[in-house]
Amino acid sequence: MSTAIHGIIGYTITPFSANGENLDLPALGHSIDRLIESGAHAIAPLGSTGEGAYLSDHEWDQVAEFSLAHIAGRVPTVVSVSDLTTASAIRRARLAERLGADAVMVLPTAYWKLSEAEVLQHYRAIGDSIGVPIMLYNNPATSGTDMSVELILRIVKTVENVTMVKESTGDIQRMHKLQVLGEGQVPFYNGCNPLALEAFVAGATGWCTAAANLIPALNLALYQAVQANDLERAKALFYQQLPLLDFILKGGLPATIKAGLALTGLPVGEPRRPVFGLNETGRMQLQALLDQLI
């Protein structure tokens, strides 16, 4: 099923209790239901927006287990299993597979900068440990590792189950290069919200976005307009939602999406410290943006 992942891939947040200490799994269930009911084509738990990096192993396991059980195959799932050590990423990948994930996503997070050989070996070791497809994820801003298109394609060629690429550098020319050097055979996904239109135009198979928590109808309509070859409509829809896409990028996804969920009736707590929640000014700006769109 996972090779058919396409369209709008919605990212879940991870709700916490008011003091930030405990998980709020019922709220997570509500947010998942909202994504599915709004038409998201797939769901990605525990990604950057899901604060996967800020969870203890025990919490991570709980969120993975709950998310997959709650989604229950209603849409395909891509679980982010990234961690700093290869061993920990493998443990998470195996657990995600066992729990029924259709695919896993791997971002090569680094403390010590990684060589190309180290990155390749990281993917190979994870790939060899599981049977489900891997979505390779390139996002140097959060991971500290920038994979060139050439390296990405080398990994795709070398590790059999790396079959999808998520690109979040914000440089549209990377997608051109994936399309050209990959000879149109390597499905790539856009992870940079303000490039939503250009990425689809460049040939992206899907848009990985947390915006689907707030404005799913607009996200879907943009995708459909591109599918319908209606550039004018796609452009209009893009510019309509761009202010919100810019806002959530600049404000930080966990802070802004959590604030937006609260503003739309689903309180999910704040991000874990040191990351701040959205302040009062920000919430008012977000409310104004949402008022125009939904």
Rule CB under 8 A: which residues touch a copy of itself? 20-21, 48, 53-54, 56-57, 84-87, 108-115, 117-119, 121-122, 125, 141-142, 144, 170, 172-173, 176, 179-180, 194-195, 197-198, 201-203, 226, 229-232, 234-235, 239, 242-243, 252-254, 271-276
Nearer to a copy of itself, 76 or 108 (CB): 108
Active-site hit among 54, 113, 123, 137: 137
Kindly state the DSSP code that residue 160 receives in the 8-state scheme.
T
The candidate with the shortest Cα–Cα distance to 257, out of 219, 200, 206, is 219
Q: Measure the CA–CA gap between 56 and 190, rounded to whole angstroms.
A: 28
Nearer to a copy of itself, 74 or 124 (CB): 124
- Give Cα separations from 125 to 122, 138, 160, 182 (angstroms): 5, 18, 11, 23
CB of 270 to a copy of itself, least distance (A): 12
C-alpha atoms less than 13 angstroms from C-alpha of 224 in its C-beta half-sphere: 10
Which residue, 102 or 223, is less far from a copy of itself as judged by CB? Answer: 223
Q: CB-wise, 2 or 256, nearer to a copy of itself?
A: 256
List Cβ neighbours of 127 (8 Å cut-off, separation of 6 or more): 134, 159, 160, 161, 162
Least CB distance to a copy of itself at residue 87 (A): 7
DSSP string covering 20-48: SSSB-HHHHHHHHHHHHHTT-SEEETTST
Question: How far lies 63's CA from each of 32, 53, 73, in Å?
Answer: 12, 12, 16
Given the residues 11, 54, 111, 166, select the one marked as catalytic.
166
Q: Find all residues with CB under 8 Å of 265, minimum gap 6, and list them.
A: none
Q: Which residue's CB is nearer to a copy of itself, number 100 or number 170?
A: 170
Let me know how long the chain is. 294
Is 137 labeled as catalytic in the residue annotation? yes
Nearest of 102, 52, 124, 51 to residue 81 by alpha carbon: 52
Q: Catalytic site residue 258?
A: no
Please indicate if the annotation marks 264 as binding a ligand: no
- Binding residues, by number, are 49
- Binding residues for pyruvate, by number, are 49
Q: Catalytic site residues?
A: 137, 166
